[in-house]
Amino acid sequence: MQATLYDRNSQPQNPQLARAIRRLERDVLRMGALVEKSFRLSHQALFERDLTASQELPGLDKKIDRFYRQIESDCTTIITLQAPTEQDLRCLSAFMQLVRDLERIGDYAKDLADIAVKIFPYAPHRSLPDIENMSHNAQAMLAASLKALADLDEVGGRDLKRLDDAVDHAYELVYQTLAQQRDVPGIVEPIVLLALAIRCLERMADHATNIGRRVAYIVTGQTH
């Protein structure tokens, strides 16, 4: 990481607490790296029709869930036992919310991989390039949110809202295309699956935006 909460204060009042929070930051970013990997694999499964990639998701999801539980537990322990300052409490509460966002993105990645398996027998739909672009944008948002966290970059965290608006707009366009399709030859499952896929991607982008907001809150103490 290029910055930590304690770079601004070379002699923190509680060095043990400072070390504990640095460890938490590292664990959150490790969890984030696993979530990024799960998102990439789900993309590979759905858009490259690589079902081998989908088989890695359950194991990754378990690792992500373990990180989630451990980080929440560590945050609670620090709050209970180490008398954190107001700034420390702000950071710890943001971490506890932020890892929920990461865990949900991981869950949605697993859902996308399941969709990839179910949709595999069907011919690729004409909306797939637009949906793939949504996935690229949502992955870029996740990467940007984690970079903002690593750098404690308030501006970078807030900028994600603009990217989220673009994903929301793409969601509406693709949804309308799917909803208005008239040439479905009897089997609607692939249409339903693609509608679920774009909903997953839209929610993943929302959670990445939330992570950016948490970063801004850590830095400024303001929720908006």
pLDDT digits (tens, 9 = 90+) for 118-133: 999 999 999 999 999 9
Supply the Cα-derived Rg of the chain in whole angstroms. 19
* 4 found inside a domain: no
> Which residue in the block uniquely carries the two structure tokens 């997953």?
200
Cβ neighbour number for residue 197 with a 10 Å cutoff = 26
Q: Is the pLDDT of residue 193 over 50?
A: yes
Q: Is the pLDDT of residue 220 over 90?
A: no
Sign of CA dihedral 154, 27, 79, 105: positive
DSSP annotation of 126 reads T
* 38 found inside a domain: yes
* 10 found inside a domain: no
What pLDDT score does 222 carry? 78
Residue 116 to residues 59, 142, 188, 191: CA-CA distances in angstroms?
Answer: 17, 21, 16, 13
* 165 found inside a domain: yes
Average pLDDT over residues 154-161: 89
Per DSSP, the residues of 69-94 read HHHHHHHHHHHHHS---HHHHHHHHH
Q: Is the pLDDT of residue 14 over 80?
A: no
pTM beyond cutoff 0.95 = no
Average pLDDT over residues 11-34: 87
* 1 found inside a domain: no
> What is the Cα–Cα distance from 11 to 125, expressed in whole angstroms?
58
First to last CA, the chain: 25
Q: Is the pLDDT of residue 218 over 60?
A: yes
Percentage of residues in the chain having pLDDT higher than 90: 72
> What is the Cα–Cα distance from 124 to 193, expressed in whole angstroms?
12
DSSP annotation of 14 reads -
CATH code where residue 164 lies: 1.20.58.220
* 61 found inside a domain: yes
* 8 found inside a domain: no
Report the domain count for the chain.
1
Take residue 216 and report the two structure tokens written for it: 């801004």
What pLDDT score does 16 carry? 85
Q: Is the pLDDT of residue 11 over 60?
A: no
What pLDDT score does 8 carry? 44
Q: Is the pLDDT of residue 22 over 50?
A: yes
* 135 found inside a domain: yes
What pLDDT score does 224 carry? 65
The whole domain housing 29 covers 15-220
